[in-house]
Amino acid sequence: MKTAFLTTVLCLIVTTFTFAQDSCSKFYPLEEGSSFEYTNYDKKEKVEGSVHYTITEVRSEGAASVATFDMKYKDKKGKDLFESNYSFSCENGLVTIDYKSLFPSQMMQQYTEMGLEMDISGTDIELPNDLSVGQQLNDANVTVAMSMSGINMNVSVDQTNRKVEKRESVTTPAGTFDCYLITENHMTKTMGATIETSTKLWLAEGIGMVRQESYKKNGSLMSRTELTRFTK
């Protein structure tokens, strides 16, 4: 149970970083009704599952714009696993995400009833509008501290050496997109173990993430996620 929960935490952290952008509009459309489907593949190119996002609300709160996303997770056979939602706000070109809202409410209720206490902290990832090849981006990190039944568990993810490598065309089942390729290193620490990985992230203006690939320290592919459907 603990392993499954930690896996979910890490998946949601990665998803958060994918969408946390310095502008609410240039790399991601803020239009109610817009929907996105991402399919996850393992290292052998077999489907592991999918995530479906829908922007259900965009509203103004003072000088900030706030968007709410509904998420549906499905397994490799298309069976619903769970649903959740989260929101982010953008003000003066800076996005802020409520990390706790990323955790599925049904799962959180279950673990809260079991006595789980959780604290999330860190530095949000930033992605400026004026990307250019060779540009070095700021580091980011997030730490999740959990306590349950007297057992403490900490999960931390550091994202370093973030760099805009190049621009290139990427084709997925959703279409062909002109993308920025961003590379970065990840260091995950949990339960006494340190895991070093790296990712390649392809971003398109007006769409957001088009493809993401994760690699082991030795350079071998671990998994791939790509946009398979998009409407707005």
For residue 139, what is the domain's CATH number? 2.40.360.20
Residue of 33, 68, 74, 37 whose CA lies nearest to 52: 37
Specify the number of domains making up the chain.
1
pLDDT of residue 111: 64
Residue 197 to residue 217: CA distance in whole angstroms = 5
The parent domain of residue 108 ranges over: 2-231
Provide the terminal-to-terminal Cα distance of the chain, rounded to the nearest Å: 37
CB atoms within 10 A of CB 173: 11
Per-residue pLDDT in tens (0 to 9) along the chain, 232 residues: 344 444 444 444 444 444 444 345 577 667 888 899 999 999 999 999 998 989 898 888 888 778 788 888 898 998 988 787 777 777 765 555 555 555 555 556 666 666 777 777 777 677 777 789 999 988 888 888 888 777 888 888 888 999 999 999 999 999 999 999 999 999 988 878 898 999 999 999 888 889 999 999 999 999 999 999 998 8
Residue of 186, 182, 210, 211 whose CA lies nearest to 198: 186
Residue in the structure block whose two tokens are 């959703």: 174
C-beta separation of 231 from 35 below 8 A: yes
- Global confidence as pTM: 0.79
pLDDT of residue 4: 43
* Tokens (6 digits) for 161: 């050496």
**CA-CA-CA-CA dihedral for 216, 164, 9, 89, to nearest 10:** 180
pLDDT of residue 140: 83
pLDDT of residue 58: 85
pLDDT of residue 197: 92
pLDDT of residue 118: 74
